[in-house]
Structure 1
Amino acid sequence: MMRSALSLLLLLSATLLPLTGVAAGCAPEHLVQGCRLEEDSCVCGLGCDTTFIYATREQCLTVLKEKKGDVCQPSPCEHGGVCSQISRDPGYKCLCANTGYYGHTCQRRCPTTEEFSKEDGKATYPIECMIF
């Protein structure tokens, strides 16, 4: 019974693994759940331990960030915003507090009180524009 279950598992592996993009030459004991670099992104899934060399997405993203270099040089932030590297795409966040601007790259001018009061009431005032 045990031998037939193992044979069935090997048969399924040989049949399904090529369909899932896993290398057909990978022995079952070398299959891992992990991540690999593919062009400019991390691809995670089931694969050979020689290809899927990163145990977690975070490890893969760290290596990817190092390969790309410092995404904050030159700074993508406008109007004096401060660039901070993060692990999520696009790899940085602009801190716009006290610049008078907000948005992904501090590209939008903060509205004045008068301009904001003319909004339809559904808009929220950008937190980067608040002065405490």
Structure 2
Amino acid sequence: MRAHAVLTLLCACAAIALVRACEPGQAHSGCKIFGASCSCGYGCKTEYIYRTKEACMNALRERSSNICSRSPCVRGICTQTAQDPGFACKCEGTGFYGHRCEKACPTIPMRGLVFPHECIVI
């Protein structure tokens, strides 16, 4: 029985320490995406960003259906599209071009080929 009381006290102290780690007024109950599932508990609003498990599950479903969450672009910004393959990479300003921004921009004009527009620096 004494061990149970000590364990309960330790858990309570840990919860108080967690709340103190938050900015004043920022501790609350909520849920967060943890790996491939939703985890609910008590902590900072910046960590437990979803108010309900349902809101967390909706965000998790949306994340798994968005191909950009799998980081298909080597560099640049990924945008989900309706056309196959379901994404487009915006390479401008990265120094790379190609379907996944995987090719380094040439330092000299390429003979017989059009200079990639992603490589033009204005």
TM-score by length of 1: 0.42
TM-score by length of 2: 0.46
